[in-house]
Amino acid sequence: MPPAVSICLPNLNTRPYLKERFESIFSQTFRDWELFVYDSFSDDGSWEFIQQVAPQDERVRIAQGPREGVYPAWNECIRQTKGEYVYIATSDDSMAPDFLEKMVAALQQHQECALAHSRLVITSETGEDYKDASWPDCTVFADGIREMVDTPHVRRAPYDGLIQLTGRHTVLSITQLLVRRSIFDRVGYFPDRWGSQSDFNWEMKAGLLTNAVYVPGTWATWRIHANQSTHDARELSLDAYFGKVELMIRDAVAECQKELHPAIVRELQAKLLDDTHQLRMYYMTLRQLRDDKVRRSLYQLKRILSGPSVVRRELGRRILGRSKWADRAAPEIRVWLESLGLQPITPCLPGMVSGGGAGDRVAGAAGNRDIPVSNT
């Protein structure tokens, strides 16, 4: 009989962080798991360390394969494992000892959900709280349901996917998710054609088609350092990054729309896709011009006089002192879905998802700055 959880640990040259990663897995209070380690021919001593650690636990299997990229490695790990739930344990990150216990319990209690979503602690290379970014402020999650950050709840499709029309993530790191294996039959495996930010596309498709249960009482980490696999995404120009975001959004909607509510499809096709595209482009240009006040003002004046109607309306709201689109998009989408008779967010009943136990580690993640590449 397969284990309940398949822990997938892809690795390429992250030797300094492997000891902490293995310890975070071996210390889990939930014990019914298998661990598959897939190393892409590391040359920094990682493979030798993995070979030393693996014999310590019979639940560990190891293998090496070619360097084909982040997402092919994730997909190979998934294919090589059998558990009902899948956890991608990126090799430079960590998690709370009760992470699997609480996330598995949440999915068992909420069979209608394919994802369990935890808090995230963003850390630096040395493991300290990262000063330039925090969760949830670096995602659209903070704008849409900030009041629910401490409350267990279920978010129903297609809410999470639609709020990514802002161009921002709902879930910042794969380490925040425990995934029901059956999701891959609906959403597919992780794509890689948009480089190391391709998980945005998978995340959006998952949000359009599947429900998520949020578990505030535990946490996982995402470490920011120069050698991480997603570092190249932060090196992209805004044009290049948001150009890929545009393609990923269009692809996600095209692949999923046949399963969406007809009224949602009509709105997407009639105006929502185009309007959100125009707003993303407008705010991207403003960011590019933020250090040149004259050109920024001239650009806004031009948009007022001859820009798309949705941008002119946005400028009118801003002149009146109202919040910008990215800050109000998530709650507006929530209200719209409710008007269609859908319930995008519902608090969990008491006892249905256990809280607490996250310790002081979560409290240290508070802050108010965005990660530049994920904010429109």
Pairing of strands 60-64, 33-39: parallel
| pLDDT tens by residue, the chain, 376 residues | 899 999 999 999 999 999 999 999 999 999 999 999 999 999 999 999 999 999 999 999 999 999 999 999 999 999 999 999 999 999 999 999 999 999 999 999 999 999 999 999 998 877 677 666 778 887 887 777 788 889 999 999 999 999 999 999 999 999 999 999 999 999 999 999 999 899 999 999 999 999 999 999 999 999 987 766 554 545 568 789 889 999 999 999 999 999 999 999 999 999 999 999 999 999 999 999 999 999 999 999 999 999 999 999 999 999 999 999 988 999 999 999 999 999 999 999 766 665 544 444 543 333 322 222 223 3
Tokens of 105: 């319990």
Q: Taking the domain 5-234+346-374, which CATH number applies? A: 3.90.550.10
At residue 371, the pLDDT reads: 21
Question: What is d(CA 139, CA 172) in angstroms, rounded to the nearest whole number?
Answer: 7
Q: How many CB atoms lie within 10 A of CB 281?
A: 16
At residue 180, the pLDDT reads: 98
Task: Please report, as a single letter, which amino acid is at residue 307.
Answer: G
Pairing of strands 113-123, 85-88: unpaired
At residue 364, the pLDDT reads: 35
Contacts of 206 (CB under 8 A, 6+ apart): 114, 115, 160, 161, 183, 187
Where does residue 28 fall: left (phi above 0), alpha (psi -120 to 50 degrees), or beta otherwise? beta
Tokens of 15: 């030797």
- As a dihedral over the C-alpha atoms of residue 239, residue 243, residue 246, residue 247, rounded to 10 degrees, the angle is 180
Radius of gyration for the chain, computed over Cα atoms and rounded to the nearest angstrom? 21
- Domains of the chain, residue spans: 5-234+346-374, 238-340
At residue 362, the pLDDT reads: 43
Rounded to two decimals, the pTM is: 0.89
At residue 361, the pLDDT reads: 52
At residue 142, the pLDDT reads: 78
